[in-house]
């Protein structure tokens, strides 16, 4: 029986890091060794930050983004246009659009896209909550900014069908985003152009 090369504590950290998206065993090992080489105080600070994460962060009850306050800073900003809602898949997409710097409305985060093969239908993402917001009568435009992937397009088309009988303008993210690209990876200039030239669906 060969001796154990990697100490148990280090191996546990490597295994935990591989659970993160895009992190393979090699990258996880490099990160774990880097943490181990740093002063113990830095490791404890990282552990404390991870421990506090779920205690400090909650979902905004209006737009469902991650926030330390409820409502979040964007929903609470009286300078933002509350009659315009941008619908995105994930909080990371909100951050990407904010970096573009030319959108001043509110948001609605679906927390996913329709994927029937994976058991994700309309009830598994926050579509009902979106419709409840529209019932207030304040919203005049819904700007759908899902990614141009197959699930993103399917979700956008489903939303368009659900909203077609409402007296609300429905627009979509337009030119500038290549097909098959997740919008969180687009640069801010491309996103800015896509926002400015968004197209009406009906």
Output the CA torsion 20→92→136→152 (10° steps): -80
pLDDT by residue for the chain (202 residues), tens digit each?
Answer: 445 678 888 999 999 999 998 999 999 999 999 999 999 999 999 989 988 888 889 999 999 999 999 999 999 999 999 999 999 999 999 999 999 889 999 999 999 999 988 889 999 999 999 999 999 889 999 999 998 788 998 999 999 999 988 999 999 876 666 767 787 888 787 787 678 766 666 6
Instruction: Give dist(CA 29, CA 12) in Å, integer.
Output: 10
Q: Is the peptide bond before 71 cis (omega within 30 degrees of 0)?
A: yes
Alpha-carbon 42 to chain mean position: 28
Q: What pTM was computed for the model?
A: 0.76
- CB 106 within 8 Å of CB 124: no
CATH number for the 8-56 domain, one of 2.40.30.20, 1.10.8.420, 1.10.10.1100, 3.30.1330.20? 1.10.8.420
Say if 8-56 and 66-200 have the same CATH topology. no
CATH classification code of 66-200: 3.40.1360.10
């Amino acid at each position: 029986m060969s001796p154990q090369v990697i100490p148990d504590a280090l191996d546990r950290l490597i295994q935990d890091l591989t659970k993160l998206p895009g992190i393979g065993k090699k990258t996880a090992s490099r990160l774990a060794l880097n943490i181990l080489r740093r002063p113990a105080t830095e490791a404890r600070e990282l552990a404390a930050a991870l421990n506090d994460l779920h205690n400090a962060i909650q979902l905004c009850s209006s737009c469902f983004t991650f926030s330390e306050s409820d409502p979040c800073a964007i929903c609470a900003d009286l300078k933002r246009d509350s009659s315009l809602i941008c619908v995105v898949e994930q909080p990371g997409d909100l951050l990407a659009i904010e970096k573009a710097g030319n959108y001043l409305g509110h948001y609605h985060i679906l927390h996913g896209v329709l994927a029937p093969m994976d058991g994700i239908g309309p009830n598994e993402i926050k579509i009902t909550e979106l419709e409840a917001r529209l019932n207030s009568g304040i919203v005049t435009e819904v700007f759908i900014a899902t990614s141009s992937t197959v699930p993103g397009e399917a979700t956008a088309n489903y939303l368009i069908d659900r909203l077609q009988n409402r007296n609300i303008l429905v627009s979509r993210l337009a030119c500038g985003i290549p097909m098959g690209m997740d919008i969180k990876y687009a640069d801010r200039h491309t996103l800015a152009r896509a926002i400015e030239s968004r197209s009406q669906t009906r």
